[in-house]
Structure 1
Amino acid sequence: MTTSVLITGANSGIGYQTALSLLRSTKTTYKIFVGARSIEKASSAVVSLKDEAKDTKSDVSPLVVDLEDDESIKKAFEEVSGKIDKLDVLVNNAGINIDMQGLKEGLTDRQIFNKSWDVNVTGTQIITKTFVPLLIKSTNPRLIFLTTSMSSLTISEYPQPHFNQSPPAGWPKQNPDFWSYKSTKLGLVMIMRDWYKTLKNDNVKTWAINPGLVATNLGGDPDFLKAIGAGDPAVSGNLVISVIEGGRDNDVGKMLGAKEDIFGDIVPW
């Protein structure tokens, strides 16, 4: 039996690695929709995925979906629902971190915050609401939100992480503190909690996942991320697939981390 999966932002980073892990899985076969903002990005990712997983028995298809565009989300739903009668897994992976990049491009604080919330929270909420009717038709539906331990109020009190270090006195401050990104991911955790509650009686298993600090293009500077200890996004992809394949079914409604994560496999709020 084939499991259908939609991954937003699957053309690179954690989304791409999740799709690749699914294609390489020996537990089941998958029909994967690789979501990206343009057909060029989605199609290019599909070509690369097929090249990296030549022996797969699963299927992978490109899907255009832009979280800033309601019409794009609507068209994505129409395309997917025209090909399958149920969606087993929705992985809300797409997101932006433009705190550093936005300043370099001359965006104001208001523009950075508004755009971050529009994509990371509003867009994710709209695509989830759009696809829920297809999701609840599954006999084993799963809803996943990619967030970050940086959004944890508890962890914000820990002195050790790089993102909790206080900068020297004076103004302007030079350290990038990812203010808009962290605030959106905190908002996303509450959205996860509301969907967990709302879909509980529809038997939808819902989680947030902390993929850990990994080197992707999300913040526009993967070299900086590596310098502060970022790891390989393939590890995060394996964490997501473990949730998809039932490894964390006892932890629904929580923010999950890898067992080797310094904050543990259940991230504190």
Structure 2
Amino acid sequence: MNPIALDVTDPATIDAAARRIDAEHGRLDVLVNNAGISGHVPGQPPSTTPAEQVRQVLETNVIGVLAVTNAMLPLLRRSPSARIVNVSSAVGSITRHSDPGHYLSKLPPAAAYPTSKSALNALTIQYAKELREQGILVNAATPGPCDTDFTKHLGGHLSRTAADGAAIIIKLATLGPDGPTGVFLDDDGTVPW
């Protein structure tokens, strides 16, 4: 299959992608929602973050997942073992941010990206609840900090490759029929919401 251009903030491209998958394959077995933007501005706390900046991040990282998932659901329902994997981040864990002993609680406060990933986690749970009886497993994964263009603002060289980060996503995308649904996982196991 040739690549399909899809902008998660553009309903026309979402609908076109769903129509093309339907025409060429008639179903969709796995949906990995991996589109994301950070909205990162170094040193910018929530109190000085423009609402439009947060809105743009939420539009891509949360609303985009909702739009794409809803467009693909008819195709996923035709699969004998459909899986949805939402690529989240450990920074979306409210538990870890509020634990004074966890390194995430020591990160500078930010309004956009962590908030969007917490919202994505909540959305993941809601889809898992809705689709469980249909046999569609819906989970969130955190690939960890990988050396990619997305993390270049962190400085230095990260030791995890994109392939390392993809391992947990592949695991969730290929779960058997008795696999979990509504979980948030990294390489080490369950991440607290």
Q: What range is the shorter-chain TM-score in? A: 0.7 to 0.9
1:165-202 Cα offsets, whole Å, 9 max, x none, are 26xxxxxxxx5x44200101111111111111111111
* Larger Rg over CA atoms: 1
Unaligned 5+ residue runs, structure 2? none
**2:5 pairs with one of 61, 64, 82:** 64
Aligned to 2:139: 207
Distance in structure 2 (CA, Å) of the matches to 1:222 and 1:230: 13
Aligned to 1:91: 32
Aligned to 1:241: 170
Aligned to 1:4: none
Distance in structure 2 (CA, Å) of the matches to 1:195 and 1:235: 27
Q: What is the TM-score when the length of structure 1 is the normalising length?
A: 0.64
1:38-63 Cα offsets, whole Å, 9 max, x none, are xxxxxxxxxxxxxxxxxxxxxx5211
Distance in structure 2 (CA, Å) of the matches to 1:178 and 1:233: 24
Q: Does 1:123 align with 2:64?
A: yes
- SS of the aligned residue for 2:147 comes to coil
- SS of the aligned residue for 1:183 comes to helix
Distance in structure 1 (CA, Å) of the matches to 2:9 and 2:15: 12
Contact preservation (8 Å) 2:142, 2:186: yes
Aligned to 1:133: 74
Cα RMSD over matched residues?
A: 2.4
Higher relative contact order (CA 8 A, sep 6+): 2
Count how many residue pairs are aligned between Structure 1 and Structure 2: 189
Aligned to 2:184: 255
Distance in structure 2 (CA, Å) of the matches to 1:152 and 1:225: 23
Aligned to 1:222: 152
Aligned to 1:149: 90
User: Counterpart of 2:113 in structure 1: which amino acid?
Assistant: Y
Contact preservation (8 Å) 2:21, 2:27: no
Cα displacement (A) at 1:225: 5.0
Contact preservation (8 Å) 2:62, 2:120: yes
Unaligned 5+ residue runs, structure 1? 1-59, 167-174, 260-264
